[in-house]
Amino acid sequence: MTISKGDKLPDVQLVKVTADGPDKVQSADYFAGKKVALFAVPGAFTPTCSAKHLPGYVEKAADLKAKGVDEIACVSVNDAFVMGAWGKASGSDDVTMLADGNGDFASALGLDADFSGFGMGKRSQRYSLIVNDGVVEEVNVEGPGEFKVSSAEHMLGQL
């Protein structure tokens, strides 16, 4: 079942990328007590993710924070080292990179996807969530091959 507005996020382990290296965090702890603009991509360094999705959140970070967002986070079914390298390549510290290496978070949300046909294996769908103290306020899931509702611009209109 796919996560819905009003649902509490599932509690699974993620790996937060920090300057000191990978830091294991429970999703319940990470999302507690703050408003988070979360977006998910099928893969770090992939075309749409690198050309549009992450750059949009980097560019709109100040606008999102001005509307009450405490933190902006990107999650992908990649390891923490890939997410760290992608974060550095984006040129911004405004987006926290979260690795969902085994896809447990994507699966628990009901937003996992099989990209085996593209040689990418099990991944996450492209989506965004507004999460307030661990509770989902908005859910924006893209259709296959689309990039509209999970964008930073769309999220700004929801805040």
Measured CA to CA in angstroms, residue 26 lies from 11, 22, 38, 71, 159 at distances of: 6, 13, 15, 16, 26
Do the bridges between strand 95-99 and strand 71-76 make them parallel or antiparallel, or are there none, so unpaired?
parallel
Residue burial 10-36, b: 16+ Cβ < 10 Å; e: rest: eebebbbbeeeebeeeebeebbeeebb
Annotated catalytic residue within 49, 111, 130, 139: 49
Known catalytic residue at 74 = no
**Dihedral Cα 44, 13, 67, 155, nearest 10 deg:** 50
Catalytic residue set: 49
